[in-house]
């Protein structure tokens, strides 16, 4: 898909505009358009958004736009997105171990790792 997106842009002579700065800005705009669909929904409404064909179509389009700009950004800066994701998951597994049942302090929270406790990653 990434190569197809690059070819699409090349065929239209868009490469001069596909700088990392421009691509990440466009990615942010498209992510905001996805957020907009859910912005004022209750948690229950947001869980049902895909039941409405019109809303489901909007969600799919915005997800495609976000993914397209992310893949183009990755191509521009030389990042393999799947390798980056695998490395990030590995780091998060180390930073946020799964709960250990039956800890002596009566909780099922994991024992601290050599870092201060942090909020879960996004």
Instruction: Note the pLDDT tens digit of each residue in 1-32.
Output: 888 998 999 999 999 999 999 999 999 999 99
pLDDT at 103 over 90: no
Between CA 94 and CA 110 the distance in angstroms is: 11
Q: What is the pTM of this model?
A: 0.78
Q: What Å distances lie between residue 31 and 26, 50, 65, CA to CA?
A: 9, 17, 8
State both tokens at 50: 């895909």
In the chain the domains, ranked by start, together with CATH numbers, are 2-95 (1.10.287.1080)
> pLDDT (tens digit, 9 = 90+) per residue, 26-81?
999 999 999 999 999 999 999 999 999 999 999 999 999 999 999 999 999 999 99
Q: Residue 105's pLDDT is what?
A: 57
Q: Long-range contacts made by residues 76-82, C-beta under 8 angstroms, separation at least 24?
A: 76/18, 76/19, 76/20, 76/23, 77/20
SS (H, E, C) 64-103: HHHHHHHHHHHHHHCCCHHHHHHHHHHHHHHHCCCCCCCC
């Amino acid at each position: 898909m990434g190569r197809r997106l690059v070819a699409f842009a090349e065929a239209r002579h868009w490469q001069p505009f596909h700088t990392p700065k421009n691509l990440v800005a466009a990615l942010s705009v498209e992510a905001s358009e996805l957020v907009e669909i859910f912005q004022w929904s209750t948690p229950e409404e947001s869980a049902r958004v895909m039941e409405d064909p019109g809303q489901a179509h909007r969600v799919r389009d915005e997800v495609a736009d976000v993914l397209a700009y992310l893949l183009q950004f990755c191509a521009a800066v030389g990042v393999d997105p799947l390798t980056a994701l695998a490395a990030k998951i590995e780091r998060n597994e180390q930073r946020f171990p799964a709960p250990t049942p039956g800890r002596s302090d009566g909780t099922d929270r994991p024992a601290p790792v050599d870092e201060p406790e942090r909020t879960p990653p996004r």
